[in-house]
């Protein structure tokens, strides 16, 4: 009976000792990481912020050109979608596309693979 008790006592001591060492190491790591963050954090420079402002004004033109190109692409996309809908419906009348919202496929990969396999087997 005393053999079991002494074994349990030693087991408890080893467990508590191991947990204590782990917590001490974790606390030391926390302080080391915090000190590294303080040492290596970027310094704010007010002069650099003032120099960026003229560059940002010059860079505005390419951004505006990119936005204009994107609008043209969007208009082309609307025309293609309207033509496809008109073709599928079999009508020659003008179709007005009021809004387009992207619907993301929530199907898992195995479901998409199964559909693809079925479609390929039909041809």
- Whole-angstrom CA distances from 17 to 12, 34, 86 are 8, 26, 76
What mean pLDDT is reported for the chain? Answer: 79
pLDDT in tens, 13-23: 999 999 999 99
More confident residue, 11 or 57: 11
Q: Report the C-alpha gap between 121 and 123 in whole angstroms.
A: 6
User: Does residue 110 have a pLDDT over 90?
Assistant: yes
Residues sharing a CB contact under 8 Å with residue 93, sequence separation 6 or more, in sequence order = 86
- pTM equals 0.33
Predicted confidence band at 54 (pLDDT cuts at 50, 70, 90)?
very low
pLDDT value at residue 101: 79
């Amino acid at each position: 009976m005393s053999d079991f008790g002494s074994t349990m006592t030693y087991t408890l001591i080893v467990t508590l000792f191991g947990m204590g060492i782990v917590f001490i190491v974790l606390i030391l790591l926390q302080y080391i990481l915090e000190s590294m963050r303080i040492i290596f954090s970027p310094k704010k420079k007010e002069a650099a912020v003032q120099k960026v402002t003229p560059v940002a004004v010059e860079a505005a033109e390419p951004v505006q050109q990119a936005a204009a190109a994107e609008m043209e692409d969007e208009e082309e996309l609307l025309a293609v979608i309207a033509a496809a809908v008109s073709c599928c419906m079999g009508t020659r009348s003008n179709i007005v596309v009021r809004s387009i919202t992207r619907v993301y496929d929530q199907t898992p990969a195995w479901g998409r693979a199964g559909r693809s396999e079925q479609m390929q087997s039909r041809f």
